[in-house]
Amino acid sequence: MPSRRFSRPRAVVVVTAAVALLLAACSPGGGTSAEPSGEPVAGGTLTYASGDAEPSCLDPHVGGNYPQALIATQYLESLVSLDEDGEVVPWLATEWDESDDGLEWEFTLRDDVTFTDGTPFDAEAVAANIAHVQDPATASSTGYLALAKIKDVVPVEDHLVRLEMSAPDSALLESLSQVWVAMESPAALERSQEENCAAPVGTGPFVVDQWERQESVTLVRNDDYTSPPADVDTEAVAEDTGLPYLDTIVWRFIPDSASRYAALQSGEVQVIDNAQPDTIRSAESDEAIEELDAPRPGAANRIELNSGKAPFDDERVREAFIRSVNVDDGVQSLFFGTAERSYSPLSSVEPLGLSLPGLFTVDPDAAADLLDDAGWAERDADGYRVKDGERLTLDFPVSTNQSIPAEQSLFEQIQADAKTAGFEIRLQPLDLSSWYGVLAENDYDLVSAPYTKVGPDVLRILYHSDSIEPAPSGYFANLAQVDDAELDELLTRASATSDAGERADLYAQAQQVVLEGYYILPLYDQQNHFLYSSTVRGLRAMPTVSTPTFAEAWLAS
């Protein structure tokens, strides 16, 4: 089974290699005749099976989670996109210009695009969409944060719009590329939220046709589709049909991992997401099944050490913990080689990620010395370290909705390693709402929380001291509770600068502070594996939030 891993800088090479592998794999015995390169075939119905919970709203402005992004990628489009190298490319906006002070952005829009309800796409539409995301009644979370610095939207001409900012935002283009702030028909947005959630209207290759709750969402071809992002090679598109090739996508929700894989094997569905390590491994021997590995952007999966309270308010204890646990072996044995160890706060698809493997070598002796130094020199009858009669105990609430079984097992191995060093880890498996509750109460020492966002600005959200408990809501993203004035300064400057070189340098320094302070233990990229039938061709992951797009996909007979 050829495996495709999308890491932007290397992607071209990797894809070429993967295609070569694919051709090799598909050729019969002798390997003399290659698979006919294949003209795209128009028509057909593809069934996609998602392991995520069914979204409660198909409009990703509302709330804003990954399952919504997965499906909305098929019918909504954004102002800009990214290419495989992580460069911003035109989409619904053809060009843009930032003022010298960074407080004004002008976007020139395509003038030949229409929403699927017939409403024209123009400057007013952009204004209506940004207003919709920023309206508290929409209850947007991800999109709301992404657009937080936009103060005002001024339609200058029919197809020219100006965004006025409250502060310079070097992440604006990356933020706008995300499907959580994609463009929807302003006429459709005026309907009730219930109606808009059931069938949002965009400009994308497919149209939401019908949503049978708990069963499937049916997406049908947008016959008037004209607006693929600039990185799509339109020369290669079959002229007589145009994009998209598929007539229909049936989007199903199959929460059970074994049933999902069985459905793929039996041909009931052609694409599945949330493929688990053991499944990916067993699919390797099946030539009819291929894999798409598309790590999510933003933060890498990592364990955050709560530096806001004892015992992790002492850097020596944090370092001791990190030096005592062997993550590599666990990742190897539990993920069957499907996940690569990370040493960075950022995902490997982020071009500005900084990796410092040297900080994470396992060294039990050094850990023991550090703990002795920090006053945790005694051990109790169970072998745990104690200080002033108090045991070295760490609470680790685990979200069973977000941590896959392999990850939960990894945490158990970490628990065993830490025990040898004298840490008592109390693993606490919780459902999502309870897990949020424990975090809001600050009842944790270790925690692992995913965070998907395009670009390194995710560092500001996760590690700026502003993100520690913005009361009264109790919500905060800085779960490591890093409170470092130098780091705040670096992140604020990085967010404001419009100089690419300076930005890269500032983010590198910021990551160094986070890593060298032993605030986090990076594990691996946010896993995002898809398995699909080899009859599906032309499937790729968006270089923005790594959601697969079916705009160029077709079914070989």
Which residues form the interface with other proteins (CB under 8 A)?
Answer: 49, 52-54, 56-57, 62-68, 136-137, 139-142, 144-145, 148, 193-194, 197, 212-215, 252-256, 258-260, 262-263, 265-266, 268-269, 399, 401-402, 431-438, 440-441, 450-452, 461, 470, 472-475, 477
How far is 390 from 228, CA to CA, in rounded Å?
61
Q: Is the Cβ of residue 71 or residue 370 nearer to other proteins in the bound state? A: 71
Instruction: Tell the smallest beta-carbon distance from residue 266 to other proteins (Å).
Output: 5
Q: Is the Cβ of residue 90 or residue 143 nearer to other proteins in the bound state? A: 143
Q: Is the Cβ of residue 33 or residue 401 nearer to other proteins in the bound state? A: 401
Residue 198: which residues within 8 A CB-CB, separation 6 or more? 58, 208, 211
Cβ contact 52:253 at 8 Å: yes
Instruction: Tell the smallest beta-carbon distance from residue 451 to other proteins (Å).
Output: 7
The per-residue DSSP string of 52-99 comes to SPPPS-S-TTSB--HHHHHHHTTT-B-SEEE-TTS-EEESSEEEEEE-
Q: Is the Cβ of residue 111 or residue 195 nearer to other proteins in the bound state? A: 195
Kind of pairing, strands 540-541 and 45-50? unpaired
Cβ contact 53:256 at 8 Å: no
How far is 376 from 384, CA to CA, in rounded Å?
10
Q: Is the Cβ of residue 17 or residue 53 nearer to other proteins in the bound state? A: 53
- The residue written with tokens 């072998």 in the block is 383
How far is 447 from 435, CA to CA, in rounded Å?
10
Instruction: Tell the smallest beta-carbon distance from residue 209 to other proteins (Å).
Output: 16
The upper half-sphere exposure of residue 290, i.e. CA atoms within 13 Å in the direction of its Cβ, equals 20
Instruction: Tell the smallest beta-carbon distance from residue 198 to other proteins (Å).
Output: 8
Helix (H, G, I), strand (E, B) or coil at 203: coil
Instruction: Tell the smallest beta-carbon distance from residue 271 to other proteins (Å).
Output: 14
Q: Is the Cβ of residue 252 or residue 529 nearer to other proteins in the bound state? A: 252
Backbone angles phi, psi at 155, to 5 degrees: -75, 110
Q: Is the Cβ of residue 357 or residue 470 nearer to other proteins in the bound state? A: 470
Both structure tokens of 56: 């409660």
